[in-house]
Structure 1
Amino acid sequence: MSDKVLDVHEKPTAGKWLTLSLQHMFAMFGATILVPQLVGLSPAIALLTSGIATIIFILVTRFQVPAYLGSSFAFIIPIQVATASGGIGSAMIGSMFVALVYAIVSLLIWKTGYRWIMKLLPPIVVGPVIMVIGLALAPTAVGMASTIQVDGEPVYNLLHFSAALVTLAAAIICIMFFKGVISLMPILIGIVVGYLYSAAIGILDFSKVLKAKWFEIPEMLIPGIDYEFVVTPTLLFIMVPIAIVTISEHIGHQLVLGRIVDRNYIENPGLNRSLLGDGLGTLISGLIGGPPKTTYGENIGVLAITRVYSIYVIIGAAVFAILFSFLGKVMAIIATIPTAVLGGISILLFGIIASSGLRMLVDHKVDFGNQRNLVISSVILVIGIGGATIKFSETFEIEGMALAAIVGVLLNLLLPGKAEEKLTDETE
């Protein structure tokens, strides 16, 4: 692009490097730490693994793709379900098998090309499944925003709900009335404003901050030490089908990023390399107790606005994330964020996820006058949001989002009248 400030392989000056990298870290910070707090993992380990995964991704893609990897929202419900059925270790094992799927798909693309995966995952499948991710989480967001736990039971609390509403309002104002980088950080700014409001109304507990150390190693979960490595069919079917969604998301991000920096990342370094980098990041994250990873749209947005595409800036952001994860006081402050504040930001965030699925259908002009499209989307939405389950035995079942993704792919393959659809217009 002729108006770029720094190209992919250009180095900024030391001062600009510092500020630009911090900007990228803060752009992803709010979303990356929200996921572990929703699924019972350590925010510190999420930050650590996001930095490590990003560096791995950059190495695998030969320093050509300036993308940042953060915690994936697609796996929130699968991790919660896997944890409920077999402990948090089950979720980590499932994450590793998701990484294996990435590796297999990467190998297939390397050997056969990428066009087949575009046909396997058309917008009529991917759009509704993305909508399920957001809509299935809606009750969680509202519950977090409006209730507190009393004797183990959720009880409505207006004071806490007010904190959620202030948080939500701050994030909406950032999106609607600000330009530039501020508009790309509504999650972080919303959390900060909600946190300050919570302090003003007296619902914060700083006791853990006072006790926390300045330097503290993130809480890791190591297979064979912190949990037993046991694989069950149910575990695989809870987690692995979600790769359908995240691979689609990955392809979309690579295409958008390629447009911004004026490169074809699907062909060079190749979709096989970028998927492998994403998968390896998720694998390493799962091995030490972090959530699955995905390329972050927030950071792609920062690239578009600043027109600074330098890979060195992204590496700097990854290094900052790793360093922050060892600051015990900072992580303790994060742990004091009220559930209501997280609920308020989740109302917006989960809604945006659902709306992005709808936007995919609109952008690709999916015709709902076509009965085939109507059937596929309807079945995916109801199975996913309704939490439908197929039980094969006491230890083997497929449910909710995973079942919706599988059914969607099968319906698309089996129903007659299939049109030549692409995930994007730019696959050719």
Structure 2
Amino acid sequence: MSKQQPVLDIKDIPSPFQWLTLSFQHLFAMFGATVLVPVLVGLSPAVALISSGIATILFLIFTKWQVPAYLGSSFAFIAPIIAATAAEGTGGAMIGCFMIGIVYIIVAFVIKVSGYQWIMKLLPPIVVGPVIMVIGLALAPTAVGMAMNNPKGEYDLAYFSAGIVTLIATILFSVFSKGFLGQVSILAGIIVGYIYSVIIGIVNFTPVLQASWFEWPEFVVPFVDYEVTISTDIMLLMIPISIVTISEHIGHQLVLSKVVGKDYIKEPGLHRSILGDGLGTMISAIIGGPPKTTYGENIGVLAITKVYSVYIILGAAVFALILGFIGKMTALINTIPQPVMGGVSILLFGIIASSGLRMLIDNKVDFSKNRNLAIASVILVLGIGGAFIQVWSIQLQGMAFAAIAGVVLNLVLPGKEKIEDDIFETQLD
């Protein structure tokens, strides 16, 4: 494994100027996507920022200050959180998010005891790729509706124009911008769309003027804001999505290992990074934030800057914590028009779907084999079509149903390709 010469290595302490500027860079890299998720699901952006900071600090602690990764809001749980909130309120959704963290802890324990090879056999690309595609494509109507409609839910050309401008700006930044600006293309696109929205008069600054500089965020706390009851429906709605997010986590650890030049699967160990991710998600759920995942945007910043210091990541986490308590910033985020978020979501949700397709291509999944064709086809149609299975009051639906169906089909259909025990080492090389 070749290692690039770092500007700052993992345990190197930056100068005050480096610490400030490089930590802000990581903050900007994760900001757009981390704030977008709570806006889409009806949670507090301030709480999302605070919970991302806490989750990242926990992750750094449990990975023994060896893995420079930032934990932001996970897009995989957007649809399940919306469905859970509609069924049982925000409290029910948060309980489901907490259960996701417990699943992560269980998986981490099993990996610690039995090794990591089994999880790749359970979650091969032919299962994970189509499920990722379902996550993006199932959200397509949400993105388009947000971009096209005014606050009353009616088509409005002025609002749609803001969505289109945001979409075009984000595409241009992501395709043509080099270096750091390319890494914050989401944030840059939102800023352009916001400025255009101000020009056409669809932004109301009154809440920003009325907000305090320091403001206590809208935490959603169990036993205080809602009664804690374990619902089988919520568990079946949320937990199966961890099939995808755990695979995403493994992929990010592989990429990060390549960037930094260390084998994070072995040291500090995949079990530790999954444990840190799970604990971050649980803490986030306890205060009313969305589930967490390691962010590819921040891994990209590491690759460009060659600054791997965990202290830089720690600084970004602290800045996110502080930012969540600045009332005017929260109010400003809430003034972003719906079509601006819709415009950037069209690209983001499409990228999610495309990344699932890319996984299939990169792993050279052979679709001339009817086995692979059947698995992918069933996952896509069940997930996008919104199929569900119900026994008495228990319902398994949408992406969760599709993910489980894919895992089962992969296990029972003959002709499964042999997964090499050294698959991680092969990918790392």
Short-chain TM bin: over 0.9
- Provide the C-alpha distance between the structure 2 equivalents of 1:119 and 1:209, rounded to a whole number of angstroms: 51
- 2:233 maps to 1:205: no
- Provide the C-alpha distance between the structure 2 equivalents of 1:86 and 1:336, rounded to a whole number of angstroms: 27
- Letter aligned with residue 170 of structure 2: A
- 2:89 maps to 1:87: yes
1:263 is matched with which residue?
A: 262
2:404 is matched with which residue?
A: 406
1:147 is matched with which residue?
A: 149
Mapped contact 2:126–2:365 kept (Cα < 8 A): yes
Number of equivalences:
424
- 2:295 maps to 1:296: yes
Q: Which runs of 5+ in 1 are unaligned?
A: none
SS of residue paired to 1:84? helix
2:36 is matched with which residue?
A: 34
- Letter aligned with residue 265 of structure 2: I
- Provide the C-alpha distance between the structure 1 equivalents of 2:4 and 2:322, rounded to a whole number of angstroms: 35
- Provide the C-alpha distance between the structure 1 equivalents of 2:99 and 2:24, rounded to a whole number of angstroms: 32
SS of residue paired to 1:294? strand
Report the alpha carbon displacement of residue 383 of structure 1 after superposing the two structures with TM. Answer: 0.6
- Provide the C-alpha distance between the structure 2 equivalents of 1:49 and 1:178, rounded to a whole number of angstroms: 30
- Letter aligned with residue 260 of structure 1: V
2:159 is matched with which residue?
A: 160
Report the alpha carbon displacement of residue 426 of structure 1 after superposing the two structures with TM. Answer: 2.1
- Provide the C-alpha distance between the structure 2 equivalents of 1:240 and 1:384, rounded to a whole number of angstroms: 15
- 2:77 maps to 1:78: no
1:199-239 CA distance string (max 9 Å, x none): 00000011111111100111111111101111111110000
SS of residue paired to 1:426? helix
- Provide the C-alpha distance between the structure 1 equivalents of 2:116 and 2:226, rounded to a whole number of angstroms: 37
- Provide the C-alpha distance between the structure 2 equivalents of 1:262 and 1:217, rounded to a whole number of angstroms: 41
SS of residue paired to 1:155? coil
2:427 is matched with which residue?
A: 426
Aligned pair partner of 1:44 in 35, 43, 46: 46
1:310 is matched with which residue?
A: 309
C-alpha change, 1:232 and 1:261, in structure 2 (3 Å) is same
- Provide the C-alpha distance between the structure 1 equivalents of 2:168 and 2:427, rounded to a whole number of angstroms: 36
SS of residue paired to 2:229? coil
Please list, as runs of the form range in 1=range in 2, the aligned pairs for 1:238-277 lying within 5 A after superposition: 238-277=237-276
- Provide the C-alpha distance between the structure 2 equivalents of 1:147 and 1:426, rounded to a whole number of angstroms: 44
Report the alpha carbon displacement of residue 177 of structure 1 after superposing the two structures with TM. Answer: 1.3
SS of residue paired to 2:150? strand
Mapped contact 2:241–2:399 kept (Cα < 8 A): yes
1:119 is matched with which residue?
A: 121
Please list, as runs of the form range in 1=range in 2, the aligned pairs for 1:162-201 lying within 5 A after superposition: 162-201=161-200
C-alpha change, 1:34 and 1:2, in structure 2 (3 Å) is closer
Report the alpha carbon displacement of residue 176 of structure 1 after superposing the two structures with TM. Answer: 1.4
1:63-115 CA distance string (max 9 Å, x none): 00000000000000000110111001111000111111000000000000000
- Provide the C-alpha distance between the structure 2 equivalents of 1:329 and 1:427, rounded to a whole number of angstroms: 44
- Letter aligned with residue 191 of structure 1: I
1:303-334 CA distance string (max 9 Å, x none): 00011000000000000000000000011000
2:326 is matched with which residue?
A: 327
1:107 is matched with which residue?
A: 109
2:65 is matched with which residue?
A: 63
- Letter aligned with residue 232 of structure 2: P
Aligned pair partner of 2:415 in 410, 414, 417: 417
- Provide the C-alpha distance between the structure 2 equivalents of 1:232 and 1:215, rounded to a whole number of angstroms: 37
- Provide the C-alpha distance between the structure 2 equivalents of 1:410 and 1:331, rounded to a whole number of angstroms: 44
- Provide the C-alpha distance between the structure 2 equivalents of 1:4 and 1:357, rounded to a whole number of angstroms: 31
Mapped contact 1:123–1:421 kept (Cα < 8 A): no
Aligned pair partner of 2:99 in 83, 91, 97: 97
2:354 is matched with which residue?
A: 355
- Provide the C-alpha distance between the structure 2 equivalents of 1:103 and 1:174, rounded to a whole number of angstroms: 38
Mapped contact 2:123–2:407 kept (Cα < 8 A): yes
Mapped contact 2:30–2:297 kept (Cα < 8 A): yes
Mapped contact 1:232–1:396 kept (Cα < 8 A): no
- Provide the C-alpha distance between the structure 2 equivalents of 1:67 and 1:155, rounded to a whole number of angstroms: 41
Report the alpha carbon displacement of residue 421 of structure 1 after superposing the two structures with TM. Answer: 4.0
Q: Which runs of 5+ in 2 are unaligned?
A: none
Report the alpha carbon displacement of residue 427 of structure 1 after superposing the two structures with TM. Answer: 6.9
1:284-312 CA distance string (max 9 Å, x none): 00011000000000000000001100000
Report the alpha carbon displacement of residue 266 of structure 1 after superposing the two structures with TM. Answer: 0.4
- Provide the C-alpha distance between the structure 2 equivalents of 1:34 and 1:164, rounded to a whole number of angstroms: 14
- Provide the C-alpha distance between the structure 2 equivalents of 1:46 and 1:292, rounded to a whole number of angstroms: 9
2:230 is matched with which residue?
A: 231
Mapped contact 2:8–2:306 kept (Cα < 8 A): yes
SS of residue paired to 2:427? coil
- Provide the C-alpha distance between the structure 1 equivalents of 2:224 and 2:177, rounded to a whole number of angstroms: 48
- Provide the C-alpha distance between the structure 2 equivalents of 1:118 and 1:265, rounded to a whole number of angstroms: 16
1:385 is matched with which residue?
A: 384
Report the alpha carbon displacement of residue 3 of structure 1 after superposing the two structures with TM. Answer: 2.7
2:134 is matched with which residue?
A: 132
Report the alpha carbon displacement of residue 375 of structure 1 after superposing the two structures with TM. Answer: 0.3
- Letter aligned with residue 408 of structure 2: L
RMSD: 1.1
Report the alpha carbon displacement of residue 149 of structure 1 after superposing the two structures with TM. Answer: 3.5
- Provide the C-alpha distance between the structure 2 equivalents of 1:161 and 1:2, rounded to a whole number of angstroms: 45
Mapped contact 1:115–1:427 kept (Cα < 8 A): no
- Provide the C-alpha distance between the structure 1 equivalents of 2:193 and 2:419, rounded to a whole number of angstroms: 43
- Letter aligned with residue 426 of structure 1: Q
1:235-257 CA distance string (max 9 Å, x none): 10000001100000000000000
